Amino acid sequence: MTHYGLFFQFHFYLFGLIAVASALAFVTRQSPVAAALWLVNTMFCLSALFVMLDAQFLGAIQVLVYAGAIMVVFLFVVMLLNLGHPSEVADIKGLGTRLAAGAVGLAMLAEVAVLARQKLPPLLPDLPEGANVVTPVAGPLFREYLLPFEITSVLLLVAIIGAVVLAKRRA
């Protein structure tokens, strides 16, 4: 899709703005459960953006891994530690820290605005209509990046063992 229609652009902006608004709601919620659900909303919108940027496979993986698995683990820990009550953790820091954090955020945005002046190279040609969308990702993943991909499995194994050892109750 080299020529983006108005409909497409409208939905791109819509999902982007919903993602940003949900992220803002997420950092301002007191209750961890409400925050987690807003973050799930952000992740769903990001998944829609991935699909619109021709990364359909990653869009599906985003929903499955982030919204489906990682956030469930977060909510499970919130439930396990019984932290769902907002009054118990009134946790937004004082005004000075908030102003400093806002300044840091604005500085990062300004930096990006400067970087956005850079000229981007032209878009790559699109896949032919009806082409398989997973194959172009699988190619480099299993050729150039085969060793990192295999090391990832070791990383996940270590993470599983580490999580069990850390969270196990001492006898």
Partner 1 sequence: MVPEALFFSAVLFAIGVVGVLTRRNAIIIFMCVELMLNAVNLSFVAFSKLYGMTGQVFVIFVMSVAAAEAAVGLAIIISIFRHHETVDLKNINLLKG
Give ∠ CA 22-26-31 in degrees, rounded to 5.
140
Shortest distance (Å) from residue 40 CB to partner 1: 10
Phi/psi at 138 (5° precision): -65, -35
State which of residues 10, 14, 85, 92 lies at the interface with partner 1 (CB under 8 A).
92
| CA–CA gap between residue 43 and residue 68 (Å, rounded) | 10
Asked if 79 interacts with partner 1 (CB under 8 A), we say no
Shortest distance (Å) from residue 7 CB to partner 1: 13
Per-residue tokens: 24: 């803002």
User: Which residues from 115-134 bind partner 1, rule CB under 8 A?
Assistant: 116, 120-124
State which of residues 5, 6, 80, 147 lies at the interface with partner 1 (CB under 8 A).
80
Asked if 152 interacts with partner 1 (CB under 8 A), we say yes
**How big is the chain by its Cα radius of gyration, in Å?**
21
Asked if 14 interacts with partner 1 (CB under 8 A), we say no
125 backbone φψ class: left, alpha, beta (φ>0; ψ -120 to 50)? beta
Count of residues of this chain found to bind partner 1 when the rule CB under 8 A is applied: 82
Asked if 19 interacts with partner 1 (CB under 8 A), we say yes
